[in-house]
């Protein structure tokens, strides 16, 4: 079954890893050990985001699968007063629903064919990918998958499928990070440190511009670089240099003005609504409305 699953995933340029389900308790303990200050995935953990009790709730679970799929970097290209303005959207945000749908279809087809069930999970996907050998950490705290760099989306699920051959690798940073450090230098808020994949979440821009509310005073207006999130430690990385990963969408400046001046998402024109929905950004509407002003300095 695994070979067939791999072949089907290859058709959407995806790869997968697998870990023995009961090892998620080791991940839980490790995350608790590191506390809440330096690990992006821990931030959710503190809000009881992850469910490590799935093994108690469903005794038939044997394996956790983790799938990596390339995720493009989008640019909204706007012409304004004879200038070209590129509004960046980092990978992961853009094609979320397409990826989920594709993986769901392929997984459903293959697992059912062989008589296995699959179950949704809420687990720290980056760590799963690393322990499964699918990915390695970069110095920027992101996971890098061969052939995709960090421009990838991870999807995890559980199954009653049992393998004879599980992988469990100690997390390591990519060897190339040792002599590079470009992401550390390029981080505007100094949230990264040479030689460690831990990100200081109290300084990372993503932690602020994905939330509603005012930005803290120390966050310099000029550090904003994306419609949502931040691309600085990814776009500089030599592992992310393939051009096919960038999709440019031309839009009118009037559409930007419309979003800024709107009161709520439902009042937007059908065109603007579709633009945000197609990019899976409708759930970030209120943040985007605020972030654009910072990005354009208006």
Q: Of the two residues 107 and 225, which places its CB atom closer to ligand SF4 in the complex?
A: 225
Q: In the complex with ligand SF4, which residue's Cβ is closer, 54 or 94?
A: 94
Among positions 99, 192, 275, 279, the unique one binding ligand SF4 when judged by CB under 6 A: 192
Strand segments, DSSP code E, in the chain are 15-20, 63-70, 73-80, 83-89, 118-120, 136-137, 143-144, 152-159, 246-252
Q: Which is nearer to ligand SF4, 29 or 220 (CB)?
A: 220
**Dihedral pair phi/psi, residue 156, rounded to 5°:** -120, 150
CA–CA separation, 101 vs 84, rounded Å?
Answer: 34
Judged by beta carbon, residue 63 or residue 140, the one nearer ligand SF4 is 140
Cα 169 from Cα 251, distance rounded (Å): 45
Of 75, 174, 251, 260, the one binding ligand SF4 (CB under 6 A) is 174
Binding region for ligand SF4 (CB under 6 A) out of 7-15, 55-63, 79-87, 198-206: 198-206
Length of the chain: 298
Start-to-end CA distance of the chain, whole Å, equals: 55
Q: Can you tell me the distance from the alpha carbon of 294 to that of 298, in angstroms, rounded to the nearest whole number?
A: 7
Give yes or no for residue 139 binding ligand SF4 (CB under 6 A).
Answer: yes
Chain residues 74-133 in contact with ligand SF4, contact rule CB under 6 A: none
User: What residues make contact with ligand SF4 under the rule CB under 6 A?
Assistant: 138-140, 174, 176-177, 180-183, 187, 189, 191-192, 199, 204-206, 230, 232-233, 236-239
């Amino acid at each position: 079954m695994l070979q067939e699953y791999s072949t089907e995933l290859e058709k959407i340029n995806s790869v997968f890893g697998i870990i023995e389900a009961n090892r998620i308790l080791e991940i839980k303990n490790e995350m608790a050990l590191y506390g809440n200050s330096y690990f992006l995935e821990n931030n959710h953990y503190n809000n009881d985001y992850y469910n490590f009790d799935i093994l108690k709730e469903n005794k038939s679970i044997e394996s956790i699968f983790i799938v990596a799929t390339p995720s493009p970097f989008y640019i909204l290209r706007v012409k304004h007063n004879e200038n070209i303005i590129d509004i960046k959207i980092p990978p992961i945000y853009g094609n979320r629903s397409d990826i989920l749908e594709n993986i769901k279809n392929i997984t459903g087809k293959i697992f059912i064919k062989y008589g296995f069930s699959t179950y949704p999970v809420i687990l720290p996907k980056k760590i799963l990918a690393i322990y499964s050998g699918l990915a390695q950490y970069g110095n920027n705290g992101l996971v890098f998958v061969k052939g995709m760099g960090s421009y990838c989306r991870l999807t995890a699920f559980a199954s009653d499928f049992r393998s004879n051959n599980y992988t469990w690798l100690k997390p390591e940073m990519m060897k190339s990070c040792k002599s590079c450090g470009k992401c550390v230098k390029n981080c505007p808020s100094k949230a990264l440190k040479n030689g460690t994949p831990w990100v200081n979440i109290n300084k990372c821009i993503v932690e602020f511009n994905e939330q509603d509310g005012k930005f803290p005073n120390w966050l310099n207006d000029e550090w904003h670089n994306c419609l949502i999130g931040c691309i600085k430690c990814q776009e500089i990385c030599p592992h992310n240099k393939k051009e096919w990963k960038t999709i440019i969408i031309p839009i009118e400046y009037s559409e930007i003005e419309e979003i800024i001046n709107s009161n709520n998402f439902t009042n937007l024109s059908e065109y603007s609504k579709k633009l945000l929905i197609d990019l899976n950004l409708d759930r970030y509407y209120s943040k985007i409305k605020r972030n654009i002003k910072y990005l354009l300095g208006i």
